[in-house]
Chain A
């Protein structure tokens, strides 16, 4: 039996006056999927998310969530969604506990997971009693996560959900996503952090300057991903060239290459060089855009 589409976006465009927000976007997200939505700042991620929640009205195109048009069934759809905005902001003069109470009253639902999430993200009663304007960025983000998850929604829409969280809490958050996904819930996860998306997402869409430039499984994207290689030589080597790699920067005896594809031949070549120091950091998302997708665009 085919897994149903939870989100279905077709020919979606949004213009702000004459400025482009997003253009002719098409994708679907199936039930139980963790769908990564990647792109640099200003690429159109947040505009797309806001249209999914009927906060922004599209210039053209169609959005269906749970098989229903968002514009005509907005309230029913949002009842089954949890949302964490990119820059989570709540009423500064309210306490955290009051805010969760207020959110539950607007949702008209029992926050079944609230207490377990409070324990899980290590928020004390003291933290919850503080006014929101006095909470740190990390605490505020935890509060945002709790309000998005506490009613066990069928669809979670998360915009940069780990910003402000420390590495331990980030791990806890990824674990929570996996547990929710196993229960058949769908997660739409927007980020500009490639390693983070790699950790949790099954399928990934990449948006650049308002256009969808890739829609891949994680495996497909990994194949296309570029790696960066940095090393320092003990003495100079004339006309240094490496198979499957292109030189990006050279400063005295320090080199930086971008590597694509199979690295076995490359490693063989490297073993012949007088290398003093070597690092193989992952290429960031921006770099993938700047190299691979430039030629596609």
Chain B
């Protein structure tokens, strides 16, 4: 049994659930845009909201009236972000820190496996699983658009860039969890810390939209580098966002490798 197959077997229930749930949600959101006269209803309704609330809701909600806006908002839905966060946090916290805690890592590293090989195998598995979830969401979006609206090449490219951006964001969350895992020996503690960091950035992102005093934190917030509606309407640069996230991912990966190579097992 290969390491990839082993990781898949260990997490398949959750991964399959994530994959189907997110895909179904995307499909449903894009279908709903056709059934409700959102174009007439939503702007009127949102106009009534106070300015602060409008700022907090962001562009995603206001652009929900269009297919492009709905597609972007669906990929930024809190449920999607929560499920992807869980998928990204679960694998490294359970297999590095969690196995150090149970003693399984000690056994596995007594086999002739290099630590870096084990870490990279785990990393690659997690990256592929996240890609699989995002790819299915991408496909279901395209399917829904094709059935209920009209798929254009411009929309296809924009959706592709949003999905790539989403995937990079959660590869970064996974990489950050990997870093924490290499320092710790309790899986649950790593999971809680990583989830705390993600939640902190998420809340900070919204707070900084309505509170000028903390607006300066925006460039340091990971969620500033995933703005689906901004990418859809061309106000944000895919290359800039991807570049920042890729750099952060690379830094986390290097720190993980360095720390995992030097740490004591179980620690």
Contacts and interface: CB of A to CB of B under 8 A. Distances in A.
Contacts of A117: none
A87 B103 contact: yes
B108 interface: yes
Interface string A85-108: 101111101100010011101111
B106 A75 contact: no
Contacts of A106: 3, 108, 111-113
Interface string A7-47: 00000000000000000000000000000000000000000
Interface string B90-130: 00000000000011101111111110000000000000000
Contacts of B113: 75, 106
A188 B265 CA distance: 20
A102 B2 CA distance: 7
Contacts of A87: 103
A74 B108 CA distance: 13
B6 interface: yes
A144 to B, nearest CB: 8
Contact of A89 (B10, B102, B109, B114): B102
Contacts of B9: 93-94
Contacts of B6: 91, 94, 102
A105 B265 contact: no
A7 B265 CA distance: 21
Given A50-B106, A102-B1, A55 B264 contact: yes
Nearest to A53: B110
Contact of B107 (A74, A76, A79, A89): A89
A107 B112 contact: yes
Interface string B1-31: 1110010011000000000000000000000
A55 B111 contact: no
For the residues of B in contact with A, the DSSP-based class is loop
Nearest to A101: B1
A93 B111 contact: no
Given A76-B112, A106-B108, A55 B103 contact: no
Interface residues of B, number: 22
A81 B110 contact: yes
Contacts of B111: 78, 103, 106-107
A57 B267 CA distance: 10
A197 B262 CA distance: 34
A102 B110 CA distance: 13
Contact of A79 (B10, B102, B103, B112): B112
Contacts of A76: 112
Interface in B43-93: none
A56 interface: yes
A83 interface: yes
Contact of A85 (B2, B10, B106): B106
B262 A57 contact: yes
B107 A108 contact: no
Nearest to B111: A106
A56 B264 CA distance: 5
B265 A50 contact: yes
Interface string A145-159: 000000000000000
A75 B110 contact: no
Contact of A78 (B3, B112, B262): B112
Interface of A: 50, 53, 55-57, 74-76, 78-79, 81, 83, 85, 87-91, 93-94, 98, 101-103, 105-108
**Which 7 residue pairs across A and B have the least CB separation, nearest first?**
A89-B103, A83-B110, A79-B112, A55-B265, A106-B111, A78-B112, A102-B1
Given A78-B111, A89-B103, A91-B10, 7 more contacts: A85-B106, A85-B110, A88-B103, A102-B6, A105-B2, A106-B111, A107-B112
21 contacts: A55-B110, A56-B264, A74-B114, A75-B113, A76-B112, A78-B110, A78-B112, A79-B112, A81-B110, A88-B107, A89-B102, A89-B106, A90-B104, A94-B6, A98-B1, A101-B1, A102-B1, A105-B1, A106-B3, A106-B111, A107-B111
